[in-house]
Structure formats: structure tokens, C-alpha cells
Structure 1
Amino acid sequence: MSMLYIVLAIAFGVLNLGSGIGAMVRLPQILPLMDGANVPQSLLVFPIGVLKAAGGIGLLVGIVFPPVGVAAAAGLVLFWTCAVHTHVLADFWPKETVLTFTFLASSIALLALGLAV
């Protein structure tokens, strides 16, 4: 397992976990973004928050048990691709959208690195 994979898995595992927890506790900063993207706030806890948190935990567990990390990265690629698709459908591009693309790119990188091992 490469040092790059470990560093990315720790960084983005913690960030995805934090983002998921933020969604589950309904941080006030998230609510206008959800409204702008036409996503019902009732989806914040499940599936949005739970899937991001589970993906973050999976990336961290994947450092010790690589198949879990690969599965988590694949799931996060799907999740963040859906998030980008939601922005496209809503034609909603706030400055925070750069984070969506950052999370998607990191998930793709972690999936590629995990499969290369």
C-alpha cells in the first residue's frame, strides 16, 4: 500500500465522515445549498449523511483491510457523481460546488490507487 493512498484515505476519510455528520445534524450552512439544488431536506440524514459517513469510515478501515477501502471509494464515486448530476439538473453552481468536484476527484483517485495495489 502506497504512502499516497494512506495519506489520501486518512484525509478524505475524515472529510467525508465530517461532511456526513454535518449533513446528519443539519448544519445551517447546508440548508440553502440543498434548497438551491432542489434536494429535499428530508434526505439529509438518510441517505445523504449516512452514505457520506459510511464512505468516510470505509476509507479509514480500508487502510487496514484494503477491500473495504476499494468498496468505500467505489461507493463514494457513485455518490459524488450523483451529486454533480444533481447540480447539473438544477443548474445550480454556488462557490461550494468546487468541494463536490474535489470529493469526486479524491474518490476516483482512491479507487484507482486501491485497485492498483
Structure 2
Amino acid sequence: MTLIADPWWLSVALAAALLVDVILSIRPPAFIRDCLNGVGFPRDWWWTLIAIKTTAIAGLLVGLVIPGVGLAANAGVVAYFVCAAVAHVRAKFFGPAFWVNCLGFLAFAVATLVICHFVA
């Protein structure tokens, strides 16, 4: 196991993908609104998702120079999308947002975690 992401660019790519998600979430397009409404996530709490993802981005980038921070941030991103997947399953909300966005991000985060921190 390595505490600094190797290859580094994969963690940066995950951070960049999360940044796009954050930017989109500031004024959510229909597919994001439909997703959050579909799982029953209260609109008053949508801002927390932006804060969580922004914190994850910072952790992934800081973790490129401080051992362990990126690993913890990447594990947090995996946990976030596992919780999102559980919310989709519990709500029986299986639209394209679940298959592409939620599970796509989960797969990307898991692959990044394994490749960057456990394969060397």
C-alpha cells in the first residue's frame, strides 16, 4: 500500500471529475435535480453535497504531497458514492443517473483507490 497516489494523474482526474460535478451542482441541470428528488434528498440539504465534494477535491489534491490524505479522501469518495447507490436502491430510483453518474463515479473512485494506493 502506498500513501501517496501513484500514478498521481489518476487522483487528479478524479478530482477534476468531481469539480465538474460541483460546478454543475451549483445550478443543477434537470438530470441532477431529478436524481436528488428521485432519491428523496431534501432540497434544503443540496448544498452539503457541494461542500462534501469540494472537501474531497481538496483532499485528493493535498494528498499528492501529504502522505495519507489522498488515500483518506479517495476512501471518502468511495463511501460517498456507496451511500448514494444505497439511496438509489432504497428509493427504487434506477434511471440513467443511477447507472451512469452514481455507479460510474463509484467505479471511477474504486478504480482510483485500488490503482493509486494498492497496486504498485
TM-score with structure 1 setting the length: 0.83
Name the count of aligned residue pairs: 113
Instruction: Output the CA distance in 2 between the equivalents of 1:18 and 1:57.
Output: 14
C-alpha contact 2:14 2:112 (8 A) present in aligned 1: no
Structure 2 unaligned residues grouped into runs of 5+: none
Q: Deviations over 1:54-108 (max 9, x none)?
A: 1122112222223111010011111000000000001111112212112112222
Identity of aligned residues (%): 32
Which letter does structure 2 place at the counterpart of 1:70? L
Instruction: Output the CA distance in 2 between the equivalents of 1:92 and 1:116.
Output: 34
SS state at 2:65 partner: coil
Paired residue for 2:106, among 101, 104, 107? Answer: 104
Which letter does structure 2 place at the counterpart of 1:94? G
Which letter does structure 2 place at the counterpart of 1:37? V
Question: Any runs of at least 4 consecutive aligned residues in structure 1 with deviations exceeding 4 A, and if so which?
Answer: none
Instruction: Output the CA distance in 1 between the equivalents of 2:84 and 2:93.
Output: 11
Offset at residue 116 of structure 1 (A) = 4.8
TM-score with structure 2 setting the length: 0.81
Which letter does structure 1 place at the counterpart of 2:76? G
Q: Deviations over 1:19-70 (max 9, x none)?
A: 13432x2313221221111111111101x11111111221122222231110
User: What RMSD, in angstroms, separates the aligned Cα atoms of the two structures?
Assistant: 1.8
Which has the higher relative contact order, 1 or 2, with Cα contacts under 8 A spaced 6 or more apart? 2
Instruction: Output the CA distance in 2 between the equivalents of 1:17 and 1:65.
Output: 21
C-alpha contact 1:55 1:73 (8 A) present in aligned 2: yes
